[in-house]
Structure 1
Amino acid sequence: MPPMATYTCAPSAVACSVSVQAGSMGKGFYVSKAVGIVLVIVGAAALATIIALSVVYSQEKAKNTQVSPTDGGPTSKPPVTTPTPSNEPWDKYRLPKSLMPHYYNLTLWPRLTEDPNTKLYIFTGESTVEFECLEDTNLILIHSNRLNYTTLTNGQLALLSAVSSGVEAPTITTSRLQTVTQYLVLQLDRNLVKGQLYRVYTKFTGELADDLGGFYRSEYEEDGVRKVVATTQMQPTDARKAFPCFDEPAMKATFDISLIHDPGTVALSNGRELETTNINMEGKNLHKTVFERTEKMSTYLLAFIVSDYDFINSTIDDVLIRIYARKPAIAAGQGAYALNKTGPILKFFEKYYNSSYPLPKSDQIALPDFNAGAMENWGLITYRETALLYDEAFSSNSNKERIATIIAHELAHMWFGNLVTLRWWNDLWLNEGFASYVEYLGAHEAEPDWNVKELIVLGDVQRVFAVDALASSHPLSSKEEDIQKPAQISELFDAISYSKGASVLRMLSDFLTEEVFTKGLQTYLAEFAFGNAVYTDLWKHLQMAVDATGTDLPASVHDIMNTWVLQMGFPVVTVNTQSGEVSQQHFLLDPDSNVTTESPFGYQWIVPIRWMKSGMVQSQKWLEVKSNTFAEMKVSGEDWLLANLNTVGYYRVNYDAANWDRLLKVLRTNHSAILRINRAQLMDDAFNLARAKVIPTVLALNTTKYLISERDYMPWKSALNNLDFFYLMFDRSEVYGYMQDYLRKQVTPLFQYYKTMTGNWSKVPEGHMDQYNQVDAISLACRTGLKECQDLVQSWFKQWMDTDTNTIHPNLRSTVYCNAIAAGGTVEWNFAWKKFKEASIATEAEKLRAALACTTQPWLLNRYLEYTLEPTMIRKQDATSTIVYIASNVIGQSLAWDFVRARWSYIFTQYGGGSFSFSNLINGVTKRFASEFELQQLRQFKADNAEVGFGSGTLAVDQSIERTVANIKWIAENRDNVLNWFKDANKEPGL
């Protein structure tokens, strides 16, 4: 899954009984007379139990949400259940080691219409799981969350049988649900026998809710008709919401899936469809689709979907590739780009891994409601519509790149994650970090002209430096015993796991060479195929490749990489070019912050250093200790030195003052002598070293002076990313006006450059990076008040309003919409809202949704915030990001913060403690905080909501407090110097 970020009941009678025959390949269903009689009885009770579910559900909802008569909004805190400390197995979050599943046979029937009595959408199901007893035990624990079970013929919630003839299964004496730790608990009258196989059969009902987790529903409108999709998101711990299962990644099994669905709908799952037959249940004519048995796999990779979607397909080397989406989207050709790129990317990874794709098909489906960006379900990958569908008339260059990279990310997981799976979630970083690294390699294969591999520096390396430089960061790999609860697992889906993981693996691949790296990777996948591994297993195989090729390293792969994996943070490497001394130190944005996390290596790393001297690439050096001297790194005269070539090392670099001066001179006089990727690095390092008080802030600002003659995207983007911090700190102060004047002067030549290149904005630049840079040039020119730019975008937007024909190029729409709405008033906002609600293209809706937050009218922003609580206005998947968009607006920031504080218990209840987006929400609404009053509010917010909790955003609260403390200090120390610098810089002549 790529970063973005996841957000009870008696069964109705599923009217055919299940009796599973081992090895039946999903065809072992038959109706026996005896069971048929039982089902009639169960069916009669079904309606009553569903009504009971409704009552229970309503009671829970009432407890969690009470409405204030004054504002119509939820005000109360949800109940908090604290389990009594216990040593009983059912009070622990990890499964015992006594049982191991081998095989599941699962039938599910999702209802795509609301029950007229209960007003609920439900699904019913039957499951048989076959498992082996590894240790004698009289207890069966199987994960179950928000499922209600039918009482079966034995008076219990499950039936237990032995697989082997002649073996008698124990009797279930009690069966109950343990809600806190999410188990179905079955206690037996005697032990299961070690080495024997048993089966547990259950019949259950769940709610097909709109909560974006487990088996859930997604709704959309087509030709005025409301339609429902039943779909899934299991990762990390929500398979247990769909059916009772051993829901841990190491508990791999094979699955026979059958789906019951309405005529006119299509059913999909991980396996290939074997057959679809007509059946009659509860007096309804239905279809039953049976799927081919899956490979041995983890529960979090399961998927099953019922919709009335259409698809396009192709075949490559006997692998069927299908793109599914809403019928109008398929008819409009929006799946064509994904279909055309999937095959080449799949073939690239087969070669990269030296392993054939292990399944007969690769389905990819675009969903209207989906909390993450995409999910790597084996054989049935789910996506947000914006991550899979491309329409040239509406989708920008960045939309296209996102589709290529996310497809590559998910296909990379088909081997790394699905074929070989982490043993436990504490190693999530290896799964997601690896896919986040090789997605750039796969996208490069799909679009070789883009130079997309360079963009990892902006998209991952520089992004995660900001988080990993905090004292509240965390190591890549956690201890297994520290990650137990679902919320703790969800918290790991953060920038550290994804972007730091990608960054250190890229560094590893570089110093090993790609040939050695892939050789070790290939033997690792071959040894652990269809099994589970821990991250050190990969180190072992990479070491085997190192030994086989004679690659020279200063220490073992294990010893080098553990310095990057087992301690948080990263070093700043300081090079003294006069003496040749090179030293390292743990880099912290706030050097006064209190680091409480112990490091097994004393915050020292084994650092690979690639460098150049006056444009000539030099041989690699290794810094293995705190400080060392390398004579080759001395320079004299006009020579200059630049370390961390191509920014492949996961560290920042500082220099002596004389070398900084020489680098600044090169930027001013011949900036192309330094690689563009390193020009981006120089500014990012300088600004962050200044924030950490390692170098003066004016030195960092001096790196931007040459931008008046810079035309490349990466250095400009790096500068803008860092100047965003200055906007956050100063857009409410006197500094703001002078900063605007300076940046307007710097960007005007770039704006004119693209005006000329595009024939007065009549065509699109050819280069991928140039298209990005054109957007940034217009955005900054308008943001800083360049009248020509503001008149231009407002005229484009007005033409759209006047003619109802949108001729704005998709690349430019986001910045044009935002600036026009900011300059306009209610009329412009309402026009954009109308277009947002009418948009049938997800990428267009996304551009408008973000731009609506750009208005300067507080009442419009407050109304927009209220819309985030209403799924018919703003989809649940988009609620938290919409709040963050509003908070990014200086006028909306305090409004969004007040809104989140007032509604936290409701937001938390609605979106669930496991939602991946909570950390983004908390960071987003607090990133501008830089006063003692705001710090006090933030601490109060943490205290006030301690009982409600913060779920996956728990760490983000501490990071926000730490960041606010650092911001307060930084402003106190830098405000006057920054103000004077901008004043002086504005007096200097331009080009």
Structure 2
Amino acid sequence: MANNRDILPADIKPLNYNLSLSNLQFSGDWRYDGIVQITSKVQKETDEITLNVKDIQISSASVDNGEDVQDVTYDEKNQRATIKLPSKLNKGNTTISIRFQGTMNDKMAGFYRARYQPTVEAAKGTPKDDKHHYMFSTQFEACDARRAFPCFDEPNLKASFEFEVEIPEDLVALSNMPEKSTSKGSKPGLKRVSFDKSPVMSTYLYAWAVGDFTYVEAFTERKYNGKNMPVRVYTTRGLENQGKFALEHAHKTVDYFSDIFDIEYPLPKSDLLAVHEFAMGAMENWGLVTYRTTAVLFDEEKSDARYKQRVAYVVAHELAHQWFGNLVTMDWWSELWLNEGFATWVGWLAVDHIHPEWKVWSTFVAEGYQTALSLDSLRSSHPIEVPVKSALDIDQIFDTISYLKGSSVIRMLSNHLTVEIFLKGVSNYLKAHSYGNATTDDLWLALSGASGQDVKTFMDPWIRKIGFPVVTIAEEPGQISIRQSRFIKSGNAKAEEDETLWWVPVGLKTGEPAKVVHSELQQKQDTIRDVDDAFYKINADQTGFYRTNYPPQRLTKLAAARDKLSVEDKVGVIGDAAALAISGDATTTALLSFVEGFQQEQDYVVWSQIQMSLAKVRAVFSENKKIADGLKKFTLKLSTPAVEKIGWEFPADEDFLTGQLRKLLLAMASGAGHEGTIKTGKQKFESWKAGDSKAINQNLRSTVFNMVVANGGKDEYEAIKNEYRVTQSVDGKEVCLVAMGRTKDSSLAQDLLNFVLSDEVPVQDCHNGPMAVAANNDTRGEIWKFLQQEWDGKMQKVRSSATVVLDRWIKTGLNQFSDREIDQQIQAFFKDKDVSGFDRSLAQASDNIEANARYKERDHAALLEWLEANGYA
């Protein structure tokens, strides 16, 4: 396998890094000086040392404190430096000392600076300019440790780390390990902070941060090495109380994972740090997890309650990595799913343990599972375990397949083995490979040992093949025949694309009372007998990763038997019906007929799936005014009884999911033109604008803001834009940008796209508004127009700073179209451009447009006829 990787020479293996940073320049060129001493094992004689560097200048190097080596050559394309030695190194241990200069950049990668507006008076030593204060932190995954210091930057080149940094006396430094000592710096007003030596780990998990930090602290209930372990949430000064919600979940989660993995948390402390500019959601640095502010902070008085679930989950996901990813690391980036798929599944497992009332697995089925099915139905998808030759190509693999298909497949497997046996196998895997690296086959081996089943044989196709099956059902009295075939969103799978034979857990729910009979489809087709004709459903609780295509009359019967379906079942049937309509395996009218009877539904997650499925249909047919109006009328009739019943008020003792349902129904009804909802929303907005800060419940800010912008004009848009500039709410800016994207005015949509690329909006947030514009049937064309006009202009802000953010623009901005002509324009525009970093997303956009176009051409006549026949058009 290693022969297929573009990796460093195997001559030298790092054992320990001792890194010291000084002379940090807090303005101007933002430079710093560094010395790194790398104790290494020379595995074969060599007269040169090749390691990774990017944006680093090596000033001198020496081996075993010998003569300085001046002969250093750089390979910028492959991000490497080669140090030529005057004589050969013999086998054995040696110490490489390198002096270098680096930059605290503004690219949210490597060792970087993050801007923020202080909420209280800051420490005197806090770096600042006329507009902003600054904090500093690291982001090394996947290949950016090399931006901060010269290193052997590959996941299986593990080593221990020591760190020290010289900073102003009134600032705080953090790293993976606890502080070891503090001493006077080289100049008055400075101090030198050093940290304990870490266990062996991959370079991408190394971390440090410097800033005006304060913290809230709790202790684990469980004892580690005889003591209750400290868990802290660090923020810039003034925000620490907003870390309390995350803190309560963090210490409980550490204990929970220590129990279920049967391995104690491996480090002496667990810190969580809120970072003001952050490209991703969070990063699992061992012992010092870093987070985007909205993923770790929550203001009980101002934050929308939906962020509670986000914070609880992201905290759990990153803490899961402390074992699965950090203690045991994937051998190479092709097995990224081992980290991310598992952490996603077990993250939800932890949230469900702490908050069973949230019923998070039904939310997972409606959001994560359905999203994974959607992407994996494209030809341009990729296997969960995807070959990666160069680590520099890895960024696009941090996607829905690695995270959400990976976790969906793990959920399927754990349900089959039982969660208890699955976790026993995971524990064995972690114990066998602690402080080392492992492969997918190593996990299969551990799970096979725990379960007594040949896990590798039936799971390998799920991991190493692209796509998933649709199980098509044919009915006969008392029995059904089931057949699996590759599901392609555009509905035109070729024979050579349908060669994979998947192991399919059938999970037949049937009878009165209904019970689940487990069986497996391990061939192309089979027959299941003893099926109750009155009621049956396969894929009980939607644990299997596949679509189900029922005969049309069975959908009608399932609609009448909704009380026998779990929330996950309902979500699955609706999601499948919508996807099969797009592919042509079923029809839109079958979907509408099924959901038409859900007027009295009371579950938030079911309504969420209904809303998403109808939104997709409305998006594809938006240019046909008669169909668009008919679908709007259908949605209005469907949602009116529920929205009028649930109202606007939030009782003090109301449960979390009912509050989320209220928000969704108000948004759904107002989007369909419910006059009473829109009128009340506008009244509340006017009162809020006039100075009544309590006029809009904190949980309805996004709903009301979206509503008034969508149904208003420039005044409403500008009011929200001004709120963006002044809000102190941790989630307020995100709420405002999304709301501004709801405008139906093309000129205001263009203003928003320009605004998000101005200095007022951090790069990390500049995709929020465009995402709303792209999903807006009235303005989605403005995204494509803007990308073309500003590719060599304002888009440079994103292109030069964060490829991952640019990828989100491409992903969300181009997927919604349903015209082949636009697909041709997109392909022609990008034909002669460098598309590295988002080429997969371009291919996926093309696949989606083709599927949407085929769907629109095929279904529009029958859909219009149905809407007319049923009084909607």
Query: Cα offset for 1:742?
Result: 1.1
- Greater CA drift, 174-183 or 585-594: 585-594
Counterpart CA distance in 1 for 2:74 and 2:592 is 61
For structure 2, the 5+ residue unaligned runs are: 120-129
Call closer, same or farther: CA 1:425–1:905 in 2, change over 3 Å: farther
Are residues 1:649 and 2:552 paired? Answer: no
Structure 1 counterpart of 2:231, from 295, 298, 321: 321
Are residues 1:425 and 2:333 paired? Answer: yes
Query: Cα offset for 1:913?
Result: 8.7
Structure 1 counterpart of 2:486, from 586, 590, 600: 586
C-alpha contact 1:341 1:404 (8 A) present in aligned 2: yes
Are residues 1:787 and 2:787 paired? Answer: no
Query: Cα offset for 1:98?
Result: 1.8
Q: Give the aligned partner of residue 441 of structure 1.
A: 349
Counterpart CA distance in 2 for 1:843 and 1:334 is 12
Structure 1 counterpart of 2:859, from 959, 971, 974: 974
C-alpha contact 2:384 2:401 (8 A) present in aligned 1: yes
Q: Give the aligned partner of residue 848 of structure 2.
A: 963
C-alpha contact 2:17 2:37 (8 A) present in aligned 1: yes
Query: Cα offset for 1:336?
Result: 1.1
Q: Secondary structure at 1:604's aligned position in 2?
A: coil
Counterpart CA distance in 1 for 2:605 and 2:718 is 36
Call closer, same or farther: CA 1:173–1:395 in 2, change over 3 Å: closer
Q: Give the aligned partner of residue 835 of structure 2.
A: 949
Counterpart CA distance in 1 for 2:710 and 2:697 is 19
| One-letter amino acid of the structure 2 residue matched with residue 279 of structure 1 | G
Q: Secondary structure at 1:591's aligned position in 2?
A: coil
Q: Secondary structure at 1:102's aligned position in 2?
A: strand
Q: Give the aligned partner of residue 356 of structure 1.
A: 264
| One-letter amino acid of the structure 1 residue matched with residue 8 of structure 2 | L
Q: Give the aligned partner of residue 693 of structure 1.
A: 584
Structure 1 counterpart of 2:634, from 725, 742, 749: 742
Call closer, same or farther: CA 1:336–1:967 in 2, change over 3 Å: same
Q: Give the aligned partner of residue 473 of structure 1.
A: 381
| One-letter amino acid of the structure 2 residue matched with residue 767 of structure 1 | D
| One-letter amino acid of the structure 1 residue matched with residue 470 of structure 2 | V
Q: Secondary structure at 1:340's aligned position in 2?
A: helix
Q: How does 1:583-622 map to 2 (within 5 A)?
A: 583-592=483-492, 602-614=499-511, 615-622=513-520
| One-letter amino acid of the structure 1 residue matched with residue 292 of structure 2 | R
| One-letter amino acid of the structure 2 residue matched with residue 221 of structure 1 | Q
How many residue pairs get aligned? The number is 850
Query: Cα offset for 1:987?
Result: 5.8
Q: Secondary structure at 1:377's aligned position in 2?
A: coil
C-alpha contact 2:106 2:801 (8 A) present in aligned 1: no
Q: How does 1:106-185 map to 2 (within 5 A)?
A: 106-109=19-22, 111=24, 113-115=26-28, 120-150=29-59, 157-161=60-64, 172=69, 174-185=71-82
Q: Secondary structure at 1:694's aligned position in 2?
A: coil
Q: Give the aligned partner of residue 97 of structure 2.
A: 201
Are residues 1:801 and 2:689 paired? Answer: yes
Structure 1 counterpart of 2:765, from 854, 878, 902: 878
Q: Give the aligned partner of residue 182 of structure 2.
A: 276
| One-letter amino acid of the structure 1 residue matched with residue 822 of structure 2 | E
Call closer, same or farther: CA 1:435–1:507 in 2, change over 3 Å: same
C-alpha contact 1:404 1:446 (8 A) present in aligned 2: no
Call closer, same or farther: CA 1:385–1:173 in 2, change over 3 Å: closer
Q: Deviations over 1:636-659 (max 9, x none)?
A: 3xx121000110001111223443
Q: Give the aligned partner of residue 424 of structure 2.
A: 519
Q: Give the aligned partner of residue 221 of structure 1.
A: 117
Q: How does 1:406-555 map to 2 (within 5 A)?
A: 406-479=314-387, 482-486=388-392, 488-547=393-452
Q: Give the aligned partner of residue 289 of structure 1.
A: 193
Query: Cα offset for 1:303?
Result: 1.0
Q: Which structure has the greater CA radius of gyration? A: 1
Structure 1 counterpart of 2:12, from 94, 99, 103: 99
Call closer, same or farther: CA 1:343–1:753 in 2, change over 3 Å: same
Structure 2 counterpart of 1:565, from 463, 470, 480: 463
Counterpart CA distance in 1 for 2:181 and 2:173 is 11
Q: Output the TM-score relative to the length of structure 2.
A: 0.94
Counterpart CA distance in 2 for 1:611 and 1:443 is 28
C-alpha contact 1:782 1:789 (8 A) present in aligned 2: yes
C-alpha contact 1:483 1:489 (8 A) present in aligned 2: no
Q: Give the aligned partner of residue 812 of structure 2.
A: 924
| One-letter amino acid of the structure 2 residue matched with residue 845 of structure 1 | K
Query: Cα offset for 1:890?
Result: 2.9
Query: Cα offset for 1:595?
Result: 8.6
Counterpart CA distance in 2 for 1:207 and 1:171 is 23
Q: Deviations over 1:598-642 (max 9, x none)?
A: 78xx2210111112114511321111111112223x443xx1210
Q: Deviations over 1:71-107 (max 9, x none)?
A: xxxxxxxxxxxxxxxxxx9x99411222110000001
Q: Give the aligned partner of residue 188 of structure 1.
A: 85
Call closer, same or farther: CA 1:936–1:427 in 2, change over 3 Å: same
Structure 2 counterpart of 1:345, from 243, 246, 253: 253
Counterpart CA distance in 2 for 1:315 and 1:673 is 44
Identity score, percent: 28
Q: Secondary structure at 2:117's aligned position in 1?
A: strand
Counterpart CA distance in 1 for 2:541 and 2:644 is 29
Are residues 1:392 and 2:300 paired? Answer: yes
Counterpart CA distance in 1 for 2:708 and 2:23 is 45
Query: Cα offset for 1:146?
Result: 0.4
Query: Cα offset for 1:764?
Result: 6.0
Q: Deviations over 1:1-48 (max 9, x none)?
A: xxxxxxxxxxxxxxxxxxxxxxxxxxxxxxxxxxxxxxxxxxxxxxxx
C-alpha contact 1:577 1:635 (8 A) present in aligned 2: no
Call closer, same or farther: CA 1:245–1:484 in 2, change over 3 Å: same
Q: Secondary structure at 1:114's aligned position in 2?
A: coil
Q: How does 1:660-699 map to 2 (within 5 A)?
A: 660-666=555-561, 671-699=562-590
Counterpart CA distance in 1 for 2:248 and 2:233 is 10
Q: Give the aligned partner of residue 212 of structure 2.
A: 308
Counterpart CA distance in 2 for 1:595 and 1:984 is 38
- Greater CA drift, 810-819 or 850-859: 850-859
Q: Secondary structure at 2:870's aligned position in 1?
A: helix
Are residues 1:230 and 2:136 paired? Answer: yes
| One-letter amino acid of the structure 2 residue matched with residue 891 of structure 1 | D
Call closer, same or farther: CA 1:136–1:112 in 2, change over 3 Å: closer
Q: Output the TM-score relative to the length of structure 1.
A: 0.83
Counterpart CA distance in 1 for 2:181 and 2:700 is 48
| One-letter amino acid of the structure 1 residue matched with residue 247 of structure 2 | L
Q: Secondary structure at 1:580's aligned position in 2?
A: strand
Query: Cα offset for 1:407?
Result: 0.4
Are residues 1:733 and 2:624 paired? Answer: yes
Query: Cα offset for 1:170?
Result: 9.7
Query: Cα offset for 1:909?
Result: 7.0
Counterpart CA distance in 2 for 1:373 and 1:468 is 22
Query: Cα offset for 1:970?
Result: 1.1
Counterpart CA distance in 2 for 1:110 and 1:389 is 32
Call closer, same or farther: CA 1:932–1:911 in 2, change over 3 Å: closer
Q: Deviations over 1:921-959 (max 9, x none)?
A: 2121112211132122111123142xx2241x1111011
Q: Give the aligned partner of residue 845 of structure 1.
A: 733
C-alpha contact 2:763 2:802 (8 A) present in aligned 1: no
Counterpart CA distance in 2 for 1:935 and 1:546 is 48
Structure 1 counterpart of 2:607, from 713, 716, 724: 716
Q: Secondary structure at 2:731's aligned position in 1?
A: helix
Counterpart CA distance in 2 for 1:314 and 1:665 is 51
C-alpha contact 1:935 1:961 (8 A) present in aligned 2: yes
